[in-house]
A and B are shown apart, each in its own frame.
Chain A
Amino acid sequence: MATNQRSGTSGSSISIHALTKRYPGSSAAAVNAVNLDIAPGELIVLLGPSGCGKTTLLKMINRIYEPTSGSIVIDGVEVQSLKASELRRHIGYVIQQTGLFPHMRVAENVAVVPKLLKWDRDRTRERVSQLLEVTGLPPEIYANRYPSQLSGGEQQRVGLARALAAEPPTMLMDEPFGALDAITRTRLQDELKRIHKQFSQTILFVTHDIEEAVRLADRIVVMREGRIVQVGSPLEIVRGPADQFVSDLVGSQDVLRRLSLMPARTAMEPLHGTPPDLAQSISGEVFLREALSMLMESGDPFIAVTGSDGTAIGTLSMTSIQRAAAPPDTPDR
Chain B
Amino acid sequence: MDLVYFFDNLDEILALSLEHLRISLTALMIALPVALVVSVIGVWFRPARQPLLWTVGALYTIPSLAMLAFLIPSQGLGLRPTLILLVMYAQIFLVRNIVTGLTGVDPAVLEAARGVGMTPFQVLGRVWLPIALPVILAGVRIALVTIIGLAILGGWVTAGGLGELLFSGINTNHPAKVLAGLIAIVSLALLTDLTIRLIESLTSVARARRAGNRR
Residues of A within 8 A of B (CB): 62, 64, 85-90, 93, 95, 97-104, 112-113, 116, 145-149, 162
Output the nearest chain B residue to A144 by Cβ-Cβ distance: B211
Residue of B nearest to A86 (CB): B117
Give chain A nearest CB distance to B101 CB in angstroms: 12
Contact of A99 among B109, B117, B204 (CB under 8 A): B109
A-chain residues with CB within 8 Å of residue B112 when the two chains form the complex: 93, 95, 98-101
B195 part of interface (Cβ distance < 8 Å): no
* Most chain B C-beta atoms within 10 Å of own C-beta, residue among A87, A116, A146, A147: A146
Is the CB–CB distance between A148 and B117 below 8 Å? no
Q: Which residues of chain B in 197-215 are interfacial with respect to chain A, using CB atoms and an 8 Å cutoff?
A: 203-205, 207-209, 211-212, 214-215
Whole-angstrom distance from the CB of A330 to the nearest CB of chain B? 39
The 6 closest A-B pairs by CB, nearest first: A99-B112, A148-B212, A89-B117, A88-B117, A97-B108, A93-B115
Known contacts being A101-B127, A102-B131, A116-B118, is A149 close to B211, with CB within 8 Å?
Answer: yes
A99 to B106, CA, bound (A): 8
For residue A62, give the distance in angstroms from its CB to the closest CB of chain B: 6
Q: A93-B112, A95-B111, A95-B112 are in contact. Are A103 and B208 (CB under 8 A)?
A: yes
Given A62-B115, A100-B109, A102-B208, list of 5 further CB < 8 A pairs?
A85-B117, A86-B117, A98-B108, A102-B205, A104-B208
Contacts of B127 in A (CB 8 A): 101
Chain B residues, CB < 8 A from A93: 112, 115-116
Instruction: Give me 9 A-to-B residue pairs in the complex whose CB atoms sit less than 8 angstroms apart, sorted by A's number.
Output: A64-B114, A64-B115, A89-B117, A95-B112, A101-B112, A102-B106, A103-B204, A103-B208, A148-B209
Distance from B129 Cβ to chain A, minimum over Cβ atoms (Å): 10
B109-144 interface with A by 8 A CB criterion: 109, 111-119, 122, 127, 130-131
Within 169-215 of B, Cβ neighbours of A (below 8 Å) are at: 203-205, 207-209, 211-212, 214-215
Main secondary structure of the interface of B (DSSP, over half): helix
Q: Which residues of A contact B119 (CB under 8 A)?
A: 85
| Residues of the B chain whose Cβ atoms lie less than 8 Å from the Cβ of A89 | 116-117
Q: State whether A103 touches B115 (Cβ < 8 A).
A: no
Q: What is the number of residues of chain B that contact chain A, defined by CB distance less than 8 Å?
A: 26
The answer for the CA separation of A62 and B119 in the assembled complex, in Å, is 13
Hey, which chain B residues are within 8 Å of A99, CB to CB?
A: 106, 108-109, 111-113, 115
Instruction: List B70-119 residues whose CB lies under 8 Å from chain A.
Output: 106, 108-109, 111-119
Asked if B205 and A113 sit within 8 Å, CB to CB, the answer is: no
CB neighbours (8 Å) of B209 from chain A are 148
Residues of B within 8 A of A90 (CB): 117
> How far is A101 from B128 in the complex, measured between Cα atoms in Å?
10
Check B117–A103 contact: CB distance below 8 A: no
Q: Are B131 and A87 in contact (CB under 8 A)?
A: no
A103 x B116 contact (CB < 8 A): no
Chain A residues within an 8 Å CB radius of B108: 95, 97-99
Find chain A residues with CB under 8 A from B207 CB: 146
A113 engages B116 (CB within 8 Å): yes
A103 adjacent to B114 (CB under 8 Å): no
Do B116 and A149 touch (CB < 8 A)? no
Closest Cβ neighbor of B215 among chain A residues: A149
A116 close to B122 (CB less than 8 A): yes
Contacts of A100 in B (CB 8 A): 109, 112
A148-B111 in contact (CB<8A): no
Across-interface contacts of B122 in A (CB, < 8 A): 85, 116
When chains A and B are docked, how far (Å) is the Cα of A20 from the Cα of B115? 21
For residue A64, which residues in chain B have a CB less than 8 angstroms away from its CB? 111, 114-115
Please, which residue of chain A has its CB at the minimum distance from the CB of B213? A148
- Decide if B205 touches A103 in the complex (CB within 8 Å): yes
Alpha-carbon separation in the docked complex, A157 to B140 (Å)? 37
What chain B residues lie within 8 Å of A103 (beta carbons)?
Answer: 130-131, 203-205, 208
Which chain A residue lies CB-closest to B109?
A99
Taking a contact as CB atoms closer than 8 A, the residue among A101, A104, A148 that contacts B215 in the complex is: A148
Among A62, A99, A103, residue most surrounded by chain B Cβ atoms (within 10 Å): A103
* Chain B residue at minimum C-beta to C-beta distance from A113: B116
- A86 vs B119: C-alpha distance when bound (angstroms): 9
Give min CB distance, B102 to chain A, whole Å. Answer: 14
Contact yes or no, A85 B118, CB < 8 A: yes
Contact call B208/A146, Cβ cutoff below 8 A: yes
Query: What is the distance, in angstroms, from B214's C-beta to the closest C-beta of chain A?
Result: 8
Contact (A148, B109) CB under 8 Å given A85-B119, A89-B116, A116-B118: no
**B125, chain A: closest CB distance, angstroms:** 12
